[in-house]
Amino acid sequence: MNALVRRDPLRSLRLLFLAAMVLVGVATLVQSAVTHAARGDMLMTAAVLGAILLLRLSEFRLGAPVPLVMDVLELAAFGLLLGTAQELDPLLGPIYFVLSFRAATGRLWRVLPLIAGYMAVSFFGSTAAGNPLMPGAYIGMTIMPMLVFTMRKLFMHVQAERERHERMLDDVLKRLPFPVVVTGADGEVVLANPAAAELTGPLDGVRATLGDGTPVDLRRLVPGESGLELRVTRADGRVVQVRAETVPTAHGTILALLDVTAQRGYENRLEHAAFHDPLTGLPNRALLWRRFAEAGDGPYAVLLIDLDGFKAINDTHGHLAGDELLCRVAERLRHACGPDATVARLGGDEFAALLPQADADRAREVAEAVRQTFRWDVPLSTGPVRVGGSVGHALGGPGFSPDNVLAEADAAMYVEKHSRVRS
């Protein structure tokens, strides 16, 4: 019922008047029975009121008044009823609601003649019956339908203005260069401008998540959100990064989207460049120090690796081969140290590995795995080469300075390198 009133208030008002006419008609017949009216008079009253109700049902279905000739026949039948009725007051209720229904349906030129007609037949009918109506009855026949007509015109004017504003809003939204989606209170998409359709595609096939992976429904975002970043996966599989702004309205929410995919990609590339070695793709010294800070609350181990014989390979096969060798060694170190380790290139042919939550046994185990990687030739585009590596490790934890731990690992690495040279 509430949905019907919201969707078509005027039709709901006409339906209300119809229901009132039925109730008042039944009350009129009951009152006639109570006053012991003649059977013929009751049948005539029921027939006239039923015919009038059928005419109103026809108007309700058509949404417009019946032909003018039907009004003339209706007035004639009602005048005849008034001329034979013993009591006229019960018939005033049907007259008021008939006129109110017409006022809620027809134009003024169809309302005023019916008012005048009912006033005329009421006057002549009641006078002929020797029971003239009071002036207040005629005033009610005029005032009540005119109030309904005036309220209807005011409502239609307000509704027209609202529709005009909505059309203007629709036109503005469609012209906006950035994506905008308008949803109703139930989450139904009322409008999605062309920019939104181009960005997200059909919203029914869109999956959106927060930065932590929590799924969200774009059509039911909380009004008043600002700067909410979402990862949107379209129905065709394309992924875009958007920033959402939601504005509450009287009947729903306006959702504005900004495509920040390129911006975030650029920022990610900048961050990657700032914290990774451009040649090998490994973390650089800056990222290694950040990982030190993250691992500072627990025990950790640090491995320092320095290649043996790298300069000779670089001089013999060229710098391109040397760069390729560093990339191959980086891959082997990542594999040997495991997925939890941070393997970084410190510069030149020197590498470091941070092993979080590692004890002495774990450090020795990984150091030995790293040494094993240097026992096999490294395939390069210029041919296979063999390079050696010296590994030193040290343990750290809360209260240990990363510089001191690295220095200890560096000292251990040089002990191994010098011992290999002496042997």
pLDDT at 4: 42
The length of the chain, given as a count of residues: 423
Per-residue pLDDT of the chain (423 residues; tens, 9 = 90+): 444 445 567 788 788 888 888 888 787 777 766 665 666 667 888 888 888 888 888 888 888 888 888 888 888 888 888 777 666 777 888 888 888 888 888 888 888 998 898 898 888 877 877 777 888 888 888 898 899 888 888 888 888 887 787 778 777 777 777 788 888 777 777 777 788 777 887 777 778 888 777 888 777 777 777 778 888 888 888 888 888 888 887 777 888 888 887 777 787 788 888 899 999 999 999 999 999 888 767 899 999 999 998 888 888 888 898 999 999 999 999 999 999 999 999 989 999 999 999 999 999 999 999 999 999 888 988 888 989 999 999 998 888 888 899 999 999 999 888 876 555
**For residues 168-191, b (16+ Cβ closer than 10 Å) or e, as one string?**
eeeeebeeeeebbbbbeeeeebeb
pLDDT of residue 5: 47
pTM of the predicted model as reported, rounded to 2 decimal places: 0.51
What string of DSSP letters covers 306-375? EEESHHHHHHHH-HHHHHHHHHHHHHHHHHHH-TTSEEEEEETTEEEEEEET--HHHHHHHHHHHHHHTT
Domains and their CATH numbers in the chain: 2-156 (no CATH), 176-262 (3.30.450.20), 276-422 (3.30.70.270)
Contacts of 397 by beta carbon, 8 Å cutoff, 6+ apart: 296, 298, 299, 300
Q: Are 117 and 79 in contact (CB under 8 A)?
A: no
- CA atoms lying within 13 Å on the CB side of residue 16: 12
Residues 6 or more apart whose Cβ sits within 8 Å of residue 96 = 140, 141, 144, 145
